[in-house]
Amino acid sequence: MKVLITDDVHPLLIEQLQQMGYKVDFRPDITFEETLSVILSYTGLIINSKIFCSDELLDKAPNLRWIGRLGSGMEVIDTKACDARDVKYFNSPEGNRNAVAEHALGLLLDLLNNITRSNNEVKQGKWIREANRGEELSGKTIGIIAFGNTGEAFAKILRGFDVTILAYDKYKKGFGKDFVKESTLEEIFEKADIVSLHLPLTEETKYMVDENFLNSFHKPIYLINTSRGKVLKTTALIAALESGKVKAAGLDVLENEKINTFNEAEKQWFDALIKDERIILTPHIAGWTVESKRKIAEVIISALKGFGTL
């Protein structure tokens, strides 16, 4: 049995796979084209977001029996093509949910207190206090869109801040807790001061947060996106910042994260983002911690063992 690992992983994952009897090829720099050329001999494949498990790849992998996704996003796996070939697939959202939640909180506190902006000003020799007067998180109403692993983890972290938490999930019911109110989009539109996106990327959620969505809020909001770039239409965010519908935004993800491939339209919206002091950008690192790297490895191994012999 052979496993191909196409991205950086914790050494524990390699060790555990070897103990399970797999021959492991660790190739974190492999390209999609190179993967196509070698996938024939593998029974297992571990990916992050670089390799798309497409129908094309699966056609070249008749011996493939399972695919493990490092992290949560299943948009990089053609699940229908896998089902047609009886290839098992699984992800590991439990591994980095706390990391994502803490990053979302960090972005939010930064925005509320003008931390990045004032830091940059001080380093330029500017000592500006009144213009950097912040807002307290306490007393705010926070709308969480999608209440899966990261949405729930974010809610748990917010418990100590004396906030009202409204959570909406189209496909989950009965998840309301003493610190979370199960809500509707309409209630979030009406009451939220802050909105945090925790959506998977699907055909249904692609550009869900568009002009109409952002214009539906009754109050100006702070917006956090640590989910997937394409659930948010960037041009709609820029327009909402200009109109005052959005006060500021923290983005860990972008529609296109390969900056060197931007077309002219993408260059324009990216230029608008980096020039706006109300925007904080991080390079898709919300789930990227020392601890999550090990936890993801543990979840992958646990899931693989759960399938029995593959």
Which positions are catalytic? 228, 257, 284
Cα-based distances in Å from 113 to 24, 116, 188, 222, 229: 47, 9, 23, 12, 24
| Helix axis angle, 115-123 to 93-113, nearest 10° | 60
Q: How many residues does the chain have?
A: 310
Which secondary structure element, helix H or strand E, spans residue 222, and what is its range? strand 221-225
**Calpha distance 68→88 (Å, rounded):** 9
**Can you tell me whether residue 189 is helix, strand or coil?**
helix
**Calpha distance 56→67 (Å, rounded):** 15
Are 1 and 42 spatial neighbours (Cβ–Cβ below 8 Å)? no
